[in-house]
Amino acid sequence: MRGLWLLLVLVAAAKAERVFTGDQVIRVNAQSEEQIQLLQALETQEEWELDFWLDPVSTELPVDIRVPRSSLSAVTEYLRVHSIPYSVLINNLQELLDEEKAEMQMNQMRERSTRSFNFGAYHRLETIYSWMDTLVAQHPNLVTKEEIGRSYENRPMYVLKFSTGGVKRPAIWIDTGIHSREWVSQATGVWTANKIATDYGTDASLTSLLNTMDIYMLILANPDGYAYTHSNDRMWRKTRSRNSGSRCRGVDPNRNWDAGFGGPGASKNPCSDSYHGPSAHSEIEVKNVVNLIRSHGNFKSFISVHAYSQLLMYPYGYSCRNVPHQPELDSVGRAAVQKLTSLYGTRYKVGSICNIIYQASGGSIDWSYNMGIKYSYAFELRDTGRYGFILPANQIIPTASETWLALKHIMEYVRDHPY
């Protein structure tokens, strides 16, 4: 009997959701290169278990760190001793997570009783997948759901294909949620897919675009990670694959592409959130996308949507040298951001990944650009750090609506500039 009881305790512990009671998110504004190096030293300090939401890369950019309660006094002392100023963005992370969870549960009950889907709420993977079937049923002549492969934990990976016919027409790729904890990304993907489906036939520009091109949307680019953020650890970013010889799981799927793989801005440490994996395309979630893009062979734009920081970026990340199409990519990006800002005044920065944030190798849009997909872009959605990854659900629709104006501008430009 005692053995059974122990087994039940172990099962409960294995399923237990990680709590962040007393954890704080602090913002550090480094004032010198020396302070940047002192912060980079913290990244390798494994016993403090710090989670860098924004990495220390330059004095131009803030550094956001989730500090576990158990490490708070040590970290604040370290900053004080080195005269590094900081402020507290989130005083108790668990309080925000509890609010987020309660809101999701309330919404779930409301959706069940009204048999509706609320685009201004966060949803679990199963709910998103079943909503996809509803969208296809409502727009059978435009939308299909295609399985492009399975994830490491054998979940289906679905793309929504928006097409008015033809075979391997010029196409636009949009993925959201490659980093699982960036929930506003997946939620923006859901809203956007619905917008495309409902505006076709009424919005003249979108209609003309879909009469000549297809749009592919992968809303859950990292399904295992996303499911895990709901069941076990809201702050999980990577895939869920096992790493041989390590107790730590997962690979950063946006450091796993064959573009400067294993270079600066990616880690060799399997316990790191930016671990690049054992080899390029080792992650089945990445490989599934690579296989689709390659076999299709006619994608003209590749857009990946992340959060947070309010940036619109183009290649390269793995190198700071300008790509051949830099002037064009920059001007299209700036025009897109102007449209985005026109709705609520949200400010975005535009530039290459390496020059606007930091050198990061193995990223998806570097790979797509090198594959000949000229219009390759990455968005970092709202906000600039007040909530970070825990963006309140009441900002989903405003975020998605403004982002749509930028996406639409890019897609129209791609339609009007064939190559």
Which residues are part of the catalytic machinery?
380
Beta-sheet pairing, 51-54 with 63-67: antiparallel
Contacts of 194 (CB under 8 A, 6+ apart): 119, 135
CB 343 within 8 A of CB 405: yes
Starting at the edge strand that comes first in sequence, how are the strands of the sheet with 51-54 ordered?
51-54, 63-67, 24-28, 86-90
Determine if the peptide bond prior to 308 is cis (ω within 30°): yes
Contacts of 312 (CB under 8 A, 6+ apart): 333, 336, 337, 340, 348, 349, 350, 377, 378, 379, 380, 406
For the record, the structure tokens of 398 come out as 């405003």
- How far lies 305's CA from each of 64, 104, 184, 190, 389, in Å? 20, 22, 9, 12, 13
- How far lies 8's CA from each of 2, 16, 170, 212, 393, in Å? 10, 12, 54, 58, 35
Element (H, E) at 27: strand 24-28
Burial classification of residue 358, based on how many CB atoms lie within 10 Å of its CB (0-12 exposed, 13-18 middle, 19 or more buried): middle
d(CA 358, CA 264): 9
